[in-house]
A and B are shown apart, each in its own frame.
Chain A
Amino acid sequence: MKFLRDTLDKAKHNFEKGGKYHKFYYVFEALDTFHFSPNTVTPATGAQIRDAVDLKRLMMTVVIAMIPCLAFGVWNVGYQHFLALGQSASAGDIITVGLIQVLPIVLVAYVAGGLVEAVFAIFRKHPINEGFLVTGMLIPLVMPPDIPLWQVAVASIFAVVIAKEAFGGTGMNILNVALTARAFLYFAYPLNISGEVWTYLPSGAKTVAGYSGATPLAVAAQASTEGESVVQAFNSFGAGWADNLYSFSNMFFGFMPGCIGETSTLMCLIGAFILITTGVGSWKIIAGVFLGAWGMGAFLNLIAVNEFMAMPAHYHLVIGGLAFGAVFMATDPVTATQTEAGKWVYGLLIGLLTVLIRVFNPAYPEGIMLAILFMNVMAPLIDYVVVSANKKRRLSRATV
């Protein structure tokens, strides 16, 4: 390691002020601090020691929490592929197909977004933000497996530029970066991200008889317009080629078509466990989203003027991207509410809005995305109320 350190030390003067490549200082700095924690010490007055945590480690924890979702996603992409083709395949085949399809998406998201980060770091003269470690992983996980790679690149670039760098970088953005990428594709290229593209099928491939790529959300909306029980529609879906594809347990485990990382509620819960035990994600927000969604579902059950409203509330928790959004998107410490009381309100409203959007606006079946983006915008308002209450408590004590 001494060799690497010496090389970096030798190169350093080129990147410092007055050096040949001083414009690229922050790129060098990112490279340097990625390999070595810097040798800076605490100032002479104040805290002389510092906690071992830093932002890189915090972000890395989130990336690790996403690994179960990614790993399952790889498997599921391959599994759904062979299911749709009606072929039986070995575990090796399934994983190979999954990897071939998923890895390029991850790579493209990291490279495209990372380049934008670097360019901004050079021109705006700020450090490269490690927030991108997380964003670069979140973006692929909310993409359908069939997405063209150029769209991944365009969406990543758009999201980093508009949702993050335009506001000044990590810590200053208002909207969740990964969701902005998703929303961008959703509205810019609706054909590629809605409809029946949730299973990877090579062009010209012949699907098994009776195959339909409809996601549970589409099935539920369809059943509702036809006045058929949603649960029955789920249970009868896939008959003949994939029995019980949309049974409750199957959807909980995640063996269904959908975005790469968000089909499995179980894997999201494992991620939630990691985030909560490490203290990196707020349990209040995660619990809030699930409670809000379930509560809204149960409330709609009481009215139940159509079949979607009558769908048992717990189904809302396993279909679509609710769990993934609750665990990895809503908890983003930058765009969520920042006060403890506010986190409950924020979480509950996200859950509630998600179900509301799903049930009443079938044009946008993926409610969680819009709900979180909307609440991102509302978060400062919630915090404002909480902070005002704090100020009032102090003011009420005063006698003058």
Chain B
Amino acid sequence: MGKFIRLKKGFNINLAGKATPKVATIEQPETFAIKPTDFHGIYMPKVVVKEGDSVKAGSVLFHDKKHENIVFTAPVSGEVVEVKRGEKRKLLEVRILADKAVEYIQFDKYSVSDIVNLKREKAQEQLLKSGVWVNIVQRPFGVVADPNEKPKSIFISAFDSSPLAPDYNIVYKGQEHYFQAGVDILKKFTSGPVHVNVHSEREISPVFSQVKGAELNKFSGPHPSGCVGVQIHHLDPINKGDIVWTISPFGVIQIGKLFLNGIYDASKVIAVAGSEVKEPQYYATYTGASVKKFLANNLKQDHVRVVSGNVLTGTSIGTEGYVGFFDQLVTVIPEGDYFEFMGWLKPTVNKLSFHRAFGLLSFLNPKKEFVLDSNNRGEPRAFVQTGIFEKVTPIDILPTYLLKAIIAEDYDEMEALGIYEVIEEDLALCEFVDVSKHNVQSILREGIDLISNS
């Protein structure tokens, strides 16, 4: 039996430009890209294809230099057109010009009953070889899972509470048996339970409600209740030495497809939303799609910021960038590089604030959908402890103390204050509400890098 956990702390950011529940069919993007920067914990990706090579969906593009069996594969078939590198030849993306029809590398195919009897080693081999493995994220630290580890439990967050989040009823519609097969495969990797966590006040997709062999837990409360780190903290917290794995429903379904159909199927439904999108809606495409086609003639203005992912944890990719590996949402908001006369003093109803300090009146209208831009809204300052971080962090962790320990590079303190339990997304709201405008998520990642390399 699953648990029911009520969370009170947090904040729902209600943005304008929600995707209408309809999956549009448009011409597929011409190019797709896989970015090693979407993953943490890989050491020097080594590219194994050259520009001009032709690849199939599931062909290896690059692998981790330390763990050569962790490979990153092509989402679609086509020609490798660019291996883009940045400073110090750091690998940024591998771009593929897609074929009209996707050709797949054939992996082993299993029936539902075969899956039950499949050995862990065999399943692991296929997951690694196909590149589906990298969907599995390991905690602590939110890194690509280590195949040699045995997690104490596996967590799947089956709802997204972030701003403009895609509706899982739409993006995973009709994937029940793939999800079930994925869960059956994952169960082989842990002696503990597989947790599937849903929100008590939302319509639960049959993809999740009908799953067998997993614990179905219910959560209530505002964002970040959908962050898997928050859920782990309340169900089975991570202590020093513990390993747990997390995986998105997309990853679970991709595992199911790999074993039932024998292919690396990167098809996914993404939402293109945000206040600057003319027709916010869903599109069927593949992992790593170029956003160009989705935004063509679909933007209200030119001066925009295109974000892969949600506005709290996403990455700005520009109008010609590529959707991140783990993202199912593209958000377009206005760019905020303007001065505002008396911006710090003027009363405002149009700027969202979790605070109620003088003149911040957004709380009077909780149902309003806000158009928010990328302006920093003030200058960076020293930490002034207003107790606001604690109000948006529904876990028993003191964010300010943790952040200060990281800045001081105090390893013992970081450990004692709970750095094993959080990754960026869990504290993303702190970054939003911070009066002193710290880049909380980058600070946290610095700390994680320090302690995981120590």
Contact = CB atoms under 8 A, between A and B. Distances in A.
A338 B381 contact: no
A398 B237 CA distance: 9
A57 B400 CA distance: 21
B424 interface: yes
Contacts of B439: 43, 46
Interface residues of A, number: 60
A171 B384 contact: yes
Contacts of A56: 344-345, 378
A61 B382 contact: no
Interface string A41-79: 111111111111111111011001000000000000000
B379 A333 contact: no
Interface in A219-238: none
B379 A127 contact: yes
Contacts of B327: none
Nearest to A339: B398
B381 A53 contact: no
A54 B377 contact: yes
Q: Mostly helix, strand, loop or mixed at chain A's interface?
A: loop
Interface stretch (A183-191, A248-256, A274-282, A301-309): A274-282
A400 B433 contact: no
B434 interface: yes
Nearest to B336: A41
Given A48-B333, A387-B398, A37 B435 contact: no
Given A51-B434, A170-B381, A171-B384, A58 B316 contact: no
A87 interface: no
Max chain A Cβ within 10 angstroms of own Cβ: one of B378, B387, B442: B378
B376 interface: yes
A400 B241 contact: yes
A391 B352 CA distance: 34
Nearest to B345: A60
Contacts of A170: 381-382, 384
B354 interface: yes
Given A35-B341, A45-B316, A395-B416, A52 B381 contact: no
Contacts of B381: 55, 127, 129, 170-171
Interface string B320-360: 00000000000101011111111111001001111111111
B436 A39 contact: no
A57 B358 contact: yes
A170 B343 CA distance: 21
Interface string B382-412: 1111111010000011101100000000000
Given A171-B381, A280-B357, A340 B432 contact: no
A40 interface: yes
Contact of B240 (A43, A278, A398): A398
A1 B312 CA distance: 32
Contacts of A92: none
B416 A51 contact: no
Nearest to B376: A40
B442 A46 contact: yes
A38 interface: yes
A391 B416 contact: yes
Contacts of B316: 44-45, 48
A52 B362 contact: yes
A17 interface: no
Interface stretch (B53-61, B189-197, B250-258, B367-375): B367-375
B315 interface: yes
A51 B433 contact: yes
Contacts of A338: 385, 387, 400
Nearest to A284: B387
A338 B404 CA distance: 13
Nearest to B373: A49
A334 to B, nearest CB: 6
Given A50-B376, A58-B384, A398 B312 contact: no
A10 interface: no
A280 B360 CA distance: 12
B376 A35 contact: no
A5 interface: yes
A48 B311 contact: yes
Contact of B417 (A54, A282, A391): A391
Interface in B18-34: none
B291 interface: no
Contacts of B417: 387, 390-391, 394
A65 to B, nearest CB: 9
B339 A5 contact: yes
Contacts of B357: 53, 57-58, 60-61, 278-280
Nearest to A282: B387
A41 B432 contact: no
B387 A340 contact: yes
A36 interface: yes
B315 A44 contact: yes
B74 interface: no
A61 B347 CA distance: 12
Contact of B342 (A35, A334, A395): A35
B414 to A, nearest CB: 11
A343 B375 CA distance: 33
A1 B379 CA distance: 21
B241 to A, nearest CB: 4
A340 B389 CA distance: 11
Interface string B404-448: 000000000000111000001000100111111101111000000
A20 interface: no
Contacts of B331: 48
Given A171-B436, A278-B358, A400-B241, A37 B311 contact: no
Interface in B280-310: 305, 307
Closest 9 pairs (CB-CB, A-B): A54-B378, A37-B343, A171-B382, A52-B351, A398-B239, A61-B358, A36-B339, A56-B344, A338-B385
14 contacts: A4-B341, A36-B340, A38-B376, A41-B305, A41-B335, A54-B437, A56-B378, A278-B357, A279-B355, A279-B357, A279-B386, A390-B397, A390-B417, A399-B241
